[in-house]
Amino acid sequence: QSVLTQPPSVSAAPGQKVTISCSGSSSNIGNNYVSWYQQLPGTAPKLLIYDNNKRPSGIPDRFSGSKSGTSATLAITGLQTGDEADYYCGTWDSSLSAGVFGGGTKLTVL
Amino acid sequence: EVQLVESGGGLVQPGRSLRLSCAASGFTFDDYAMHWVRQAPGKGLEWVAGISWNSGSIGYADSVKGRFTISRENAKNSLYLQMNSLRGEDMALYYCAKDMQEQLDLGMDVWGQGTTVTVSS
């Protein structure tokens, strides 16, 4: 059971928009920055979003992040088949003094 | 080129020890916190341990606390994970990852390719 809760799967058609939620508590999302990672099959995770809503260089603006209270959301617009991957949210948990990840969400582009 | 290369994985019997290493290059290693993250076959990411730039702050997942020790040697641009009393549930692909901050923040922008730990008798 992960500290952060994500939907196991989401799906949408090419060109559409999809959102992935990440729910936590005041000890993690509520008081710390959230990051989002994309993991394509057989590869290492890749940072998509850090500090809730910032994109590293090279990440297209189709990917965006937001946070409200104890929840965070990753939005992907203009979906492409190459976006099919597992997506994870992560943050620091001040009560646990540990890093925590969501259980991951599998994105299917129909 | 910014790079992290893990080594030290392998097959180990339950109860035995293993030491993982991560060699960093292409960035100023002692400016950043570092992490170990693992992924069991077919499962999600699990944060294992993290260490700040100067080793002043260290954290562990409850699942490994008391058995694993993270350390770093800035002069050698290297990160380590000493794993003792290994269990079957420790079997996973272990990633080394660079934080974007000096302190533990979990914004990890550089990842290695991982080293596999298999625990079996």
Chain B: nearest CA to A57, how far in angstroms? 10
- Which residues in A lie closer than 8 A to residue B44 (C-beta atoms)? 2, 86, 88, 101-104
Report the pLDDT value the prediction gives residue A2, as an integer from 0 to 100: 87
Task: For residues B84-104, give the mean pLDDT.
Answer: 96
Q: What is the pLDDT of residues B51-82, one digit of tens each?
A: 999 999 999 999 999 999 999 999 999 999 99
pLDDT range class, residue A61, cuts 50, 70, 90: very high
| Per-residue buried b or exposed e for B24-59, using 16+ beta carbons within 10 Å of the residue's own CB | beebebeebbbbbbbbeeeebbbbbbbbbbeeeebb
CB contact at 8 A, A48 and A63 = yes
3-state secondary structure of A29: helix
Q: What is the DSSP string of A47-68?
A: EEEBTTTB--TT--TTEEEEEE
Q: Which chain A residue is nearest to residue B105, measuring alpha carbons?
A: A92
Task: For residues A23-44, give the mean pLDDT.
Answer: 96
Task: For residues A62-76, give the mean pLDDT.
Answer: 97
3-state secondary structure of B89: helix
pLDDT range class, residue B106, cuts 50, 70, 90: confident
CB contact at 8 A, B105 and A33 = yes
Task: For residues A82-93, give the mean pLDDT.
Answer: 97
Query: What phi and psi values does residue B22 have, to the nearest 5 degrees?
Result: -140, 120
CA angle B100, A72, A2 (to 5 degrees): 85
- Mean per-residue pLDDT of chain B: 97
Task: For residues A7-25, give the mean pLDDT.
Answer: 97
Closest CA to B47 of B37, B55, B59, B58: B37
Report the pLDDT value the prediction gives residue A108, as an integer from 0 to 100: 97
Judge: B45–A56 Cβ closer than 8 Å, yes or no: no
- Which residues in B lie closer than 8 A to residue A37 (C-beta atoms)? 45, 108
Nearest 10 degrees: Cα torsion A38, B43, B78, B60: 110
Q: What is the pLDDT of residues B34-47, one digit of tens each?
A: 999 999 999 999 99
CB contact at 8 A, B44 and A101 = yes
Which residues, in sequence order, are CB contacts of B51 under 8 Å at separation 6+?
B33, B34, B35, B57, B58, B70, B71, B72, B79, B104
Share of chain B above pLDDT 70, in %: 100
